Chains A and B, each alone.
Chain A
Amino acid sequence: MAGSLILVDQFTVSSPASSFIIGGGSAGSSTLNYSMDSTHNVYMLNYQNVFMSSDGAKARMRFTKTSDNSADTSSNYDRASKQMYTNQGFFNSSGTNQTFIETLSLGTTNPESSLGTVYCFNFPNASEYSFITRELIQTTQTPETAGVMGGAVLTVAQATNGIQFFADTGNIASGSFSLYGLAK
């Protein structure tokens, strides 16, 4: 149905994990084994209540390759965002040729967590780069709260089919993730 969101994958972190994959075909962390393919032009990932197992840890992102469902760890991730803090001046954050998509550090107790919405563009298209836009609200272990508004791209012309979240240290303790396809 036009204008509808189709739920294609859903995953809740039931025990702390160093990484997991939303979508990603057979490598996916849910039992659905969904691979982001051309069934949808655009996918929307909504997530909430992402806490870490240790203060100051980060829940970074990578994209998974359709070719083998593994995370692309190459130095081809670029990102840019405006970080809007409620307690201090805003600043611009960017990076190029990185091996992951960076984010803010988080904590272990309420409200030191991350939530937000990520839109995925061109993932199934093998001849174009894979892009995301993201609108996140993140609270650090301090705690300081910021909106992270921006985008990122994997500058490799290949098909991608999922998003890996991984902890830079320790584990991701919790979180609920819902991946939707936007109906054509």
Chain B
Amino acid sequence: MVKEVNGTNVVSVTATDLFSTDYQVYEVYLDMFYNAASYLDIQLLDSSGNVLTGSNYDVAVLEQKVYATFGEFRFQNQNIWRDLGGYMTNTVGGNIARLTIYNPTSTSSHTSATTQGASFMSSGLFGVKGMATYKANDGVYGLKIFASGGGSTTFDYLNVKSYGIKAE
């Protein structure tokens, strides 16, 4: 494990130094409980911990709902990754996600991610499977994780664990 960041009663978590040049591929595990209805949003951080705000974020996510038709969520040229952790409501189940991050610190190729996640809505299970790209070669060293609703609504907890893919 490279780093663990835990937030309690926070509106966001800024997790720096999740990635380094030691590995090319990382697994990031998220475990959270949010107190309102919102998408999980993610922005990338540079080596100084600054948010990369350019319109370089693309996503494509299949939303797998037990209570409705599966949905497609996609966009291009935005300034966030949205829905990689699915949709959150303040129901007991909370939500979780696993991201595989490729080439985060590279300055010669884009940063990409695949995701699987699940939350438990009042209507039932909401799963996601998808991917995302960041179309710039800035070098990514961390994640800012927050909710699309913004404001002062908090996560009861938001835990982040980053693992480098290391061979023994």
**Chain A residues with a Cβ under 8 A of chain B:** 1, 4-7, 46, 48-49, 82, 84-87, 89-90, 110-111, 113, 115-117, 135, 137, 139, 145-147, 149, 176, 178, 180, 183
**Chain B residues with a Cβ under 8 A of chain A:** 24-25, 58-62, 72, 74-76, 100, 102-103, 108-110, 112, 114, 129-131, 133, 135, 165-168
Report the bound CA distance from A145 to B72 in whole Å.
15
A1, A7, A82, A110: the one within 8 Å of B167 (CB): A7
Contact A82 B133 (CB under 8 A): no
Contact B61 A84 (CB under 8 A): yes
Contacts known (A84-B74, A86-B60); A137 close to B166, Cβ less than 8 A: no
Contacts known (A84-B60, A85-B74); A111 close to B166, Cβ less than 8 A: no
- Interface SS majority for chain B: strand
**Cβ distance A150 to chain B, nearest Cβ, rounded Å:** 10
Contact A87 B168 (CB under 8 A): no
> Knowing that A110-B108, A145-B133, A147-B130 are A-B contacts, what are 11 other residue pairs whose CB atoms are under 8 Å apart, sorted by A's residue number?
A6-B168, A86-B60, A86-B75, A110-B109, A113-B109, A115-B102, A115-B112, A117-B25, A147-B60, A178-B167, A183-B168
A7, A49, A116, A146: the one within 8 Å of B109 (CB): A49
The 7 closest A-B pairs by CB, nearest first: A7-B167, A147-B131, A84-B60, A86-B58, A86-B60, A135-B114, A137-B112
Across the interface, which residues of A come within 8 angstroms of B112, CB to CB? 115, 137
A-B residue pairs in contact (CB < 8 Å), sample of 10: A5-B168, A46-B165, A85-B74, A86-B60, A86-B74, A86-B133, A110-B108, A137-B112, A149-B114, A176-B24
Contact B114 A147 (CB under 8 A): yes
**Cβ distance A5 to chain B, nearest Cβ, rounded Å:** 6
Residue of A nearest to B58 (CB): A86
Report the bound CA distance from A87 to B29 in whole Å.
27
Across the interface, which residues of B come within 8 angstroms of A149, CB to CB? 62, 114, 129-131
